[in-house]
């Protein structure tokens, strides 16, 4: 079949792609259709044709997906941050569950019966809005030069004004509106990406779900802010819930949000939150799960899968601020944590001290290098937790991990594709997947989190 631009096809959408677009197939040829949902039967027009796939525009929905609902957010289409907001929450969960299963079967080559046996039902949220404890808002100039904030319209750097993302806390809007007002009042200019002029690039708001502490990070092009004291005073007076304000300096031409240098303009420069009965310190740059309600469920599953009895040596790899390792430390003999980000390691060390945990040690290192060294020194592990970034773990890490002989591995993943890739390596090395569960950490978006437990069947 020859596919050409502007041709119209009828297609059934089966999947969601990396940027939230619907994916349908015609004789093995994939069509990526923006704003289409799994279950839609739609007429689409090809806009860009490649060798094995094409991009297409939705012309008409002939039969809507049974899960289609009216999105709650008025700007959901322009924003694109919530790729599946037009799908009912129940259908979102079903979609995510089947995505994990399908990945394990189709890409992982696992037996479908075996996967059905080990998969538990996905853990969703009772109330799936306003779950994020972290918001990052880009600032820019409107046509008349006044500062605006909102979000980038899909794949562009055009800011669509909006201070109230429905995934974030209600406080965000109030704080951002105050910042905008005071920028006008004190003539603090927003950064202009085109000219490189202006001061305010981004504002980050992080909220401690359990503690209510709020950190505001102003990302500026210069450490010097005109009328800084008045600005800070106004912000604090109107929002006494803000416990710290950090100025972060990013003067480079980069899409990275945070720069290297930062200082606390007010308060301690970090906030604290509580999770699974422990207190955690969160700095501007350290990773901390964004959905605290679901994080407790996720960590609960990870602990259940680890079957700790109090005598084990445990490694928490890719440990961030040390959350998983610290929770495990209560049920293990000793815990090691390894993490690349220096700020996160510093927070982890402080967190352990604050919670009076003495059987944990943190190392700032590449997880693969660390494990290789451990294996070379003959170190042994009983249980390995790993929670790598989206890109997954590495073959070097997994090879070294196996040499340390853990009887159990608990893999926490935010990307099913790399999870499956890594699981195949572990299975080849003598591990067997025992249980798997998806946890919906990011309702309304297409992100999927899953936990898998593996047990060693034979010595490598
Ligand atoms: N387990 C933590 C953090 C998971 S996010 C939690 O639940 O909060 C993944 C973490 O891996 C990030 O903190 C990131 O800084 C870290 N990371 C990324 N690449 C790494 C590497 N090669 N070695 C060690 N840590 C790495």
Contact present, 357 and 317 (Cβ < 8 Å): no
- Residue 88: pLDDT over 80: yes
Q: Kindly state the DSSP code that residue 231 receives in the 8-state scheme.
A: H
Spatial strand order of the sheet with 313-317 comes to 360-364, 334-339, 313-317, 383-386, 408-413, 449-456, 431-439
Among protein residues, the one with the nearest Cα to ligand 1's atom 12 is 320
**CA 373 – CA 213 distance, rounded (Å):** 39
Q: Across 177-300, where does the E strand assignment appear?
A: 200-207, 214-220, 242-249, 261-266, 271-275, 278-282
Cβ distance 8 to 55 under 8 Å? no
Residue with CA closest to ligand 1 atom 16: 318
∠ CA 360-364-365 to the nearest 5 degrees? 120
**189 DSSP 8-state letter:** P
Q: What is the pLDDT of residue 287?
A: 84
Asked if residue 42 lies in contact with residue 51, where contact means CB atoms within 8 angstroms, the answer is no
Distance CA(433)–CA(411), nearest Å, equals 10
Residue 442 CA to residue 347 CA, distance in Å, equals 24
* 281 CA from centroid of ligand 1 (Å): 16
Question: Rounded to the nearest whole angstrom, what is the distance from the C-alpha of residue 322 to the centroid of ligand 1?
Answer: 10
pTM value is: 0.92
Mean pLDDT of the chain: 94
Could you say which DSSP state residue 388 is in? -
Instruction: Write the DSSP symbol of residue 300.
Output: H
Please compute the mean of the pLDDT values over residues 226-251 and round it to a whole number. Answer: 95
pLDDT band at 286 (very low <50, low <70, confident <90, very high): confident
Res 458 pLDDT > 90: no
Instruction: Give, for ligand 1, the residue of 281, 283, 284, 287 to mutate: max count of ligand atoms closer than 8 Å to Cβ.
Output: 287
Q: What is the 3-state secondary structure (H, E, C) of 2-40?
A: CCCCCCEEEEEEEEECCCCCEEEEECCEEEEECCCCCCC
Give the residue, out of 364, 388, 393, 401, with the most ligand 1 atoms within 8 A of its beta carbon, to mutate for a pocket test.
388
Which residue's C-alpha comes closest to atom 10 of ligand 1? 318
Token output for 64: 């809507």
Burial of 48 (C-beta count, 10 Å sphere; 0-12/13-18/19+): exposed
| Residue 21, C-beta contacts closer than 8 angstroms, at least 6 positions apart | 32, 33, 34, 35, 36, 55, 83
Sign of CA pseudo-dihedral 96, 102, 105, 109: negative
Residue 459 has pLDDT above 60, yes or no: no
The residue assigned the tokens 């927070």 is 347
Q: How far is the CA of 319 from the centre of ligand 1 (A)?
A: 5
Residues 294, 258 contacting (CB under 8 angstroms):
no
Ligand 1 interacting residues, C-beta cut-off 6 A: 287-289, 318-320, 323-324, 338-341, 344, 366-367, 387-389
Q: Distance, CA 386 to ligand 1 centroid (Å)?
A: 9
Asked if 9 contacts 49 with a C-beta cutoff of 8 angstroms, the reply is no
Of all atoms in ligand 1, which is nearest to the CA of residue 344? 13
Determine contact, residues 403/426, Cβ cutoff 8 Å: no
CA distance 446 to 440: 10
- Assess whether pLDDT exceeds 60 at residue 460: no
Residues designated catalytic: 414
Token pair in block for residue 111: 């037996």
The Å distance, Cα 337 to ligand 1 centre, comes to 10
How many Cα atoms occupy the beta-carbon half-sphere of 196 within 13 Å?
5
Q: Give pLDDT tens digits for 205-228.
A: 999 999 999 999 999 999 999 889
Long-range Cβ contact pairs of 148-151 (< 8 A, separation 24 or more): 148/180, 148/190, 149/176, 149/179, 149/180, 149/190, 149/203, 151/79, 151/81
> Which pLDDT does position 169 carry in this prediction?
96
pLDDT tens digits along 167-191? 999 999 999 999 999 999 999 999 9
Q: What are the tokens at 322?
A: 């040390």
Segment (H or E) for 302: helix 292-306
Site to substitute for ligand 1 among 280, 319, 329, 351, most atoms within 8 A of C-beta: 319
Which residue's CA is minimally distant from atom 15 of ligand 1?
341
Does the pLDDT value for residue 129 go beyond 80?
Answer: yes
Total H helices, total E strands in the chain = 11, 21
Task: Please count the CA atoms within 13 angstroms of the CA of 156 that sit on its side-chain side.
Answer: 9
Structure tokens at 183: 């920028």
- Average pLDDT estimate for 131-156: 90
**CA 14–ligand 1 middle distance (angstroms):** 32
Beta carbons of 283 and 343 less than 8 angstroms apart: yes
Query: pLDDT by residue (tens digit) across 291-300?
Result: 999 999 999 9
Q: Which of 190, 294, 189, 204 is nearest to 242 (CA)?
A: 204
Which residue is closest in CA terms to ligand 1's atom 21? Answer: 366
**Is residue 284 pLDDT above 60, yes or no?**
yes
Please give the distance, rounded to the nearest whole angstrom, from the Cα atom of residue 310 to the centre of ligand 1. Answer: 25
| pLDDT for position 152 | 87
pLDDT over 90 (residue 144):
no
Nearest CA to ligand 1 atom 3: 320
3-class state of residue 437 by DSSP? strand
Q: What is the signed CA dihedral for 439, 312, 455, 121, rounded to 10 degrees?
A: -20
Pairing label, strands 334-339, 313-317: parallel
**Which two tokens mark 169?**
């806390």
> What's the whole-number mean pLDDT along residues 184-200?
91
**Protein residue with least CA distance to atom 13, ligand 1:** 320
Average pLDDT over residues 120-145: 95
Q: Cα dist. 33→22, 45, 65, 369, 386 in Å?
A: 5, 9, 14, 42, 35
Tokens read off for 276: 């699974």
Q: What order of strands is seen across the sheet that includes strand 214-220?
A: 159-161, 147-152, 134-141, 200-207, 214-220, 242-249, 261-266
**In the structure encoding, which two tokens stand for residue 54, read together?**
């094409």
Beta bridge partners of 138: 202
């Amino acid at each position: 079949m020859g596919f050409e631009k502007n041709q119209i096809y009828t297609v059934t959408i089966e999947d969601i792609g990396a940027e939230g677009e619907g994916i349908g197939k015609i004789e093995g040829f994939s069509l990526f259709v923006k704003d289409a949902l799994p279950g839609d039967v739609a007429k689409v027009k090809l806009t860009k044709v490649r060798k094995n796939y094409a991009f297409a525009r939705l012309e008409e929905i002939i039969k809507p997906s049974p899960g289609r609902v009216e999105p709650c957010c008025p700007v959901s289409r322009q924003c694109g941050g919530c790729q599946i907001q037009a799908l009912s929450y129940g259908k979102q969960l079903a979609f995510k569950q089947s995505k994990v299963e399908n990945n394990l079967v189709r890409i992982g080559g696992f037996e479908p019966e075996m996967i059905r046996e080990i998969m538990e039902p996905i853990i969703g949220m009772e109330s799936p809005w306003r779950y994020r404890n972290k918001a990052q808002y880009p600032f820019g100039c409107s046509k008349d030069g006044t500062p605006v904030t909102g979000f980038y319209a899909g794949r562009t750097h055009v800011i669509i004004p909006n201070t109230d993302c429905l995934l974030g806390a209600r406080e965000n809007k109030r704080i951002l509106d105050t910042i905008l007002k005071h920028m006008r009042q004190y003539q603090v200019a927003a950064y202009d990406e085109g000219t490189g002029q202006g001061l305010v690039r981004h504002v980050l708001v992080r909220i401690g779900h359990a503690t209510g502490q709020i950190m505001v990070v102003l990302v500026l092009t210069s450490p010097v802010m005109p009328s800084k004291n008045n600005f800070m005073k106004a912000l604090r007076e109107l929002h006494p819930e803000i416990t710290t304000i950090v100025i972060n300096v990013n003067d480079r031409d980069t899409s990275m949000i945070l720069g290297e240098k930062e200082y606390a303009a007010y308060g301690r420069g970090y906030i604290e939150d509580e999770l699974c009965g422990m207190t955690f310190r969160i700095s501007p740059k350290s990773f901390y799960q964004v959905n605290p309600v679901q994080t407790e469920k996720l960590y609960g599953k990870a602990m259940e899968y680890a079957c700790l009895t109090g005598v084990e040596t445990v490694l928490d790899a890719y440990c961030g601020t040390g959350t998983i390792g610290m929770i495990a430390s209560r049920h293990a003999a000793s815990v090691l944590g390894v993490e690349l980000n220096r700020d996160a390691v510093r927070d982890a060390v402080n967190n352990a001290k604050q919670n009076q945990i003495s059987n944990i040690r943190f190392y700032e290192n590449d997880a693969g290098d660390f494990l290789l060294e451990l294996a070379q020194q003959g170190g042994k592990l009983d249980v390995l937790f790993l929670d790598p970034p989206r890109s997954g773990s590495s073959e070097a890490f997994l090879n070294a991990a196996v040499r340390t002989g853990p009887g159990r591995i608990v893999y926490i993943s935010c990307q099913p594709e790399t999870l499956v890739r890594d699981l195949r390596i572990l299975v080849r090395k003598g591990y067997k997947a025992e249980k798997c569960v998806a946890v919906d950490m990011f309702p309304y978006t297409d992100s999927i989190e899953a936990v898998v437990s593996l047990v060693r069947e034979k010595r490598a």
